[in-house]
Amino acid sequence: MSTWLHLARGPLFWTALAFMVLGLVRQLGLTLWETARVYRRAGDKDLPVGRVVRETGSWLVPVRHFGKRWPYSLTTFVFHVGVILVPLLLAGHVELWRAGLGISWPALPNVVSTTLTLLVIAAALALVLERAIARASRALGRFSDYSLPLFIAVPFVSGLLVMHPTWNPFATDPTLLVHVLSADVLLFLVPLTKLSHMILFPLTQLVSEMAWHFPPDAGSRVAETLGKEGEPI
Amino acid sequence: MATPKRYAYHVEAAALELSDRPRRFLEAFAAILRHGSYNLALDTYARMSAKCGRCAASCQLYEATGDPQDIPCHRSELLLRVYRRYFMQSGPLKARIFGGFTLTDEYIDEMADAYYRCTACRRCKATCPLGMDHGLVTHLARWVLAEVGVIPRALVVSVREQLDGKTHNTSAIPLPALKDTCEFLSEELHDIYSVDIEYPFDVEGSEYVFFPAVSDYLMEADTLMGNAAVMHATGASWTIGSHNYDGINYGLFYSDRVMERIVHQLVDEVGRVKGRKVLVGECGHATRSAWHIPTFIGPDGPPVVHCIQYAHQMLELGKLKLKPEKIPESVTYHDPCNIARVGRITEEPREILKAICSDYREMTPNRTKNYCCGGGGGTVSIDEIRAFRTGPLGMRKADQIRDTGAEIVVSPCANCKKQLRELCQDNGMEEVQVMGLHDLLLKVIDFGTDGGNGAGEAQEGDVDEESEPTATGAASSGGVGVTASAQSGAAGGPDGEEG
Ligand code: SF4
Ligand code: SF4
């Protein structure tokens, strides 16, 4: 057991982390590069920067978008807050970073982390339920849309049990192993799934705006490539 | 030229005979990706689409049909699936592992129907946390479809006349007929308002070259009289080019390739008459296409002014004088998606209407969140889908209009007006009048004295370069300030809540 644990916490974790970071950096780099290329080629270089920044900002803290489906929006919001804060600011995690790399930052009080963890777990379940109940999201949902929130909940459930041994019906070590392994797998999945929105999200409004900034002669070049120049309409 | 009906709309016979469409579709898609700039958005959307369903509630069509195929994200996924499979690195690999999707003729047919059920109004974009622009995907998908011949016949026939025909306009109005119409409009203006207003042709060096939707010359006499009246009353230097007098650009609806050519044709005409600015008439998509002049011409293309922006500015400057009497009927305003969705023109028309109407009412939601009339994206020209347009696609708009109880719906867009009229007819609201903003403005312009010497002489060919107002009637009304007398009607308010 301890060898497994050692493996999951050590080499596997670092590999997964590196895979995620490199994958995300690659996606970010490609997106930025491509954005710059689109801009360079665009005939109209006048970008509505203010609007793009406003729209991006409004979705980073999307309270004003809650609207009619606010229960769903609120669940999503809570889920995101927890999923971002707990892994980074849990006291136990901060301590691991300090021990491993010698860097450290302020941690959340444990009672806050526990509350957030419980909220994440509840929100993950609620997300899946809401998706299954609401007509539109049910119609759109792919396997991964159901499995991802549930899978994300696994390290939170196991982490909660590790932190509170009195609530844990299982032995500590296997629980910890599940916790670390599921987290490793998640890190791997980030660049490969829609989870990559964690890095691309702030760019999406810009990307949508850029798409309307065509190169001036794209149309005639397409005609040329397809051998349709001079062809009557 | 009856063709067997394969889609909800008619396409030309040749399109139905085309063989090997999947290969051609992919070739066209590849060429468009290579020369265009769409892959950035497609890559991002394909990676991140959350399939959360938020956008569903913002689309007037899905709200009406409740049919999963009408969910914006579902429609965009049709093209994204093709993109993932054939144009993303991981596509072929995933196809091998998970068994893949293959583009077929039937799949192209599915897209052909789906992408003409969406009006590309872009209302849904504002509700997507990931900023996915389904109007953009529809725009692109229609271009690729067009390259395999899938174009509604109503659109392609008009474009053929505009680009390859003799008249160079979508309504095939020959120049002599156009001039007759203008003469007739001048006479009308004289008879009703006792004012002599000419429609100037080919006046070299004019500040504004006028491009309405050419169909206005056939269907919207009052709008055009209002346009001429505003230009006359403000002593503007303007002209109509005799080689090209059509602002319509259906390229926006189905092909950037076509859009590029039409924009060039328009700018060439401005150059031919040595004009300085493009003055767009009351037409939403013509305005949005003209805003693409820098896209195709670069920063040195002529600036674009929308006729409402012009009128608004003249009112603010006190150069356009209004009579003290106001329009007594209750009036509401429909925002054309193409000018309002990103907030470019939303306030000017309202300020004008509030200044000239005694009972102005907002419909909710409005401005950037307004519902499409149901005829956007060129669908209004497709007569064979009228029942669909005025049914599910326009139901929301019909409700909105009904809720205001207004007698007049104003919309500064040729397409919106046609659709709104049919919508009112088909939804038991025959009593509602649909008109342009300049139609109303015309009724309250103070031309000065009763003779016709309002802004007078400058119109006879040699237009006053300074565009100084020469109106002699400045004293009569004290000028209804646009901003000053904003008397908002019953429900005047900020943007309505989104649905
Ligand atoms: S662009 Fe308009 S019509 Fe098309 S899916 Fe979005 S809201 Fe619906
Ligand atoms: S709101 Fe955006 S992510 Fe959600 S279903 Fe619609 S398009 Fe997809």
> Is residue B11 within 8 Å of residue B3, measured between CB atoms?
yes
Say how far apart CA B362 and CA B496 lie, in whole Å. 9
Put simply, the answer to whether B48 touches A204 (Cβ < 8 Å) is yes
Say how far apart CA B249 and CA B436 lie, in whole Å. 20
B160 and B146 together in one domain: no
What's the confidence (pLDDT) of residue B467? 37
B142 and B176 together in one domain: no
Q: Does some domain include residue A89?
A: yes
Q: Does some domain include residue B215?
A: yes
Say how far apart CA B356 and CA B351 lie, in whole Å. 9
Q: Does some domain include residue A129?
A: yes
What's the confidence (pLDDT) of residue B2? 43
Q: Which atom of ligand 2 is nearest to the CA of B51?
A: 5
CB distance B119 to ligand 1 below 6 Å: yes
Q: Does some domain include residue B50?
A: yes
The range of the structural domain enclosing residue A157 comes to: 2-6+48-212
pLDDT in tens, A95-140: 999 998 899 999 999 999 999 999 999 999 999 999 999 999 999 9
Q: Does some domain include residue B348?
A: no
Put simply, the answer to whether A203 touches B31 (Cβ < 8 Å) is no
* Nearest bound ligand to the CA of residue B134: 1
Nearest CA in chain A to B73: A140
Q: Does some domain include residue B139?
A: yes
Side by side, the strands of the sheet bearing B208-211 are B238-239, B208-211, B277-280, B304-306
> Is residue B194 within 8 Å of residue B225, measured between CB atoms?
no
B183 and B278 together in one domain: yes
* Least Cα separation, residue A38 to chain B (angstroms): 6
Task: Of B286, B436, B277, give the one whose Cα is nearest residue B349.
Answer: B436
B60 and B161 together in one domain: no
CATH of the domain at B264: 3.40.50
What's the confidence (pLDDT) of residue B471? 33
Nearest CA in chain A to B260: A219
Q: Does some domain include residue A107?
A: yes
CA-CA-CA-CA torsion for B6, B12, B15, B16, nearest 10 degrees?
40
* Total number of domains in chain B: 2
Say how far apart CA B375 and CA B416 lie, in whole Å. 6
- What is the pLDDT tens value at each position of chain B, 499 positions in all? 444 468 999 999 999 899 999 999 999 999 999 999 999 999 999 999 999 999 999 999 999 999 999 999 999 999 999 999 999 988 888 877 877 789 999 999 999 999 999 999 999 999 999 999 999 999 999 999 999 999 999 999 999 999 999 999 999 999 999 999 999 999 999 999 999 999 999 999 999 999 999 999 999 999 999 999 999 999 999 999 999 999 999 999 999 999 999 999 999 999 999 999 999 999 999 999 999 999 999 999 999 999 999 999 999 999 999 999 999 999 999 999 999 999 999 999 999 999 999 999 999 999 999 999 999 999 999 999 999 999 999 999 999 999 999 999 999 999 999 999 999 999 999 999 999 999 999 999 999 855 433 333 333 333 333 333 333 333 333 333 343 333 333 333 334 333 3
Side by side, the strands of the sheet bearing B433-435 are B357-361, B327-333, B408-410, B433-435
B139 and B237 together in one domain: no
Put simply, the answer to whether A140 touches B53 (Cβ < 8 Å) is yes
What's the confidence (pLDDT) of residue B449? 53
Place of tokens 């690659």: A26
pLDDT in tens, A32-43: 999 999 999 999
| DSSP H stretches of helix in B273-409 | 284-291, 293-297, 307-316, 337-340, 347-356, 386-390, 395-404
* Nearest bound ligand to the CA of residue A139: 2
- What burial letters (b/e) apply to A154-188, b meaning 16+ CB within 10 Å? bbbbbbbbbbeeeeeeeeeeebbbbbbbbbbebbb
What's the confidence (pLDDT) of residue B491? 35
At B106, which amino acid appears?
E
Nearest to A140 among B71, B297, B299 (CB): B71
Say how far apart CA B252 and CA B250 lie, in whole Å. 5
Using the predicted structure, report yes or no on whether residue A143 has a pLDDT greater than 60.
yes
CA distances from A233 to A9, A159, B13, B146, B292 (A): 64, 65, 14, 11, 21
Q: Does some domain include residue B119?
A: yes
**Cα A144 to the center of its chain, rounded Å:** 14
Q: Does some domain include residue B297?
A: yes
Nearest to B164 among A37, A212, A232 (CB): A232
* Least Cα separation, residue A217 to chain B (angstroms): 7
Q: Which atom of ligand 2 is nearest to the CA of B134?
A: 7
B76 and B164 together in one domain: no
What's the confidence (pLDDT) of residue B454? 34
> Is residue B410 within 8 Å of residue B436, measured between CB atoms?
yes
Handedness of CA A42, B148, B151, B9 (dihedral sign): negative
Which two three-digit tokens encode residue B358? 């005694």
pLDDT in tens, B191-233: 999 999 999 999 999 999 999 999 999 999 999 999 999 999 9
Say how far apart CA B415 and CA B173 lie, in whole Å. 18
Residue B409, phi then psi, degrees to nearest 5 = -105, 125
Which two three-digit tokens encode residue A182? 């599921």
Q: Does some domain include residue A224?
A: no
Put simply, the answer to whether B258 touches A219 (Cβ < 8 Å) is yes
B41 C-alpha vs ligand 2 centroid, how far in Å?
14
Q: Which atom of ligand 2 is nearest to the CA of B76?
A: 7
What's the confidence (pLDDT) of residue B450? 57
The range of the structural domain enclosing residue B207 comes to: 156-311
B161 and B48 together in one domain: no
What's the confidence (pLDDT) of residue B461? 36
Q: Does some domain include residue A94?
A: yes
Residue ending a domain, among B106, B122, B151, is B151
B90 and B218 together in one domain: no
Q: Does some domain include residue A34?
A: no
Q: Does some domain include residue B259?
A: yes
Say how far apart CA B36 and CA B204 lie, in whole Å. 36
Say how far apart CA B349 and CA B360 lie, in whole Å. 11
Q: Does some domain include residue B49?
A: yes
B162 and B304 together in one domain: yes
Nearest to B130 among A38, A204, A225 (CB): A204
Instruction: Give the total residue count for chain A.
Output: 233
B90 and B170 together in one domain: no
B82 and B212 together in one domain: no
Using the predicted structure, report yes or no on whether residue A174 has a pLDDT greater than 80.
yes
Say how far apart CA B165 and CA B173 lie, in whole Å. 11
* Total number of domains in chain A: 1
Put simply, the answer to whether B256 touches A214 (Cβ < 8 Å) is yes
Residue ending a domain, among B311, B342, B360, is B311
Interface of A with B in 54-83 (CB under 8 A): 55-56, 59, 62, 65, 67-69, 72-73, 76
pLDDT in tens, B21-80: 999 999 999 999 999 999 999 999 999 999 999 999 999 999 999 999 999 999 999 999
Q: Does some domain include residue A158?
A: yes
Residue ending a domain, among B151, B178, B205, is B151
Q: Does some domain include residue A40?
A: no
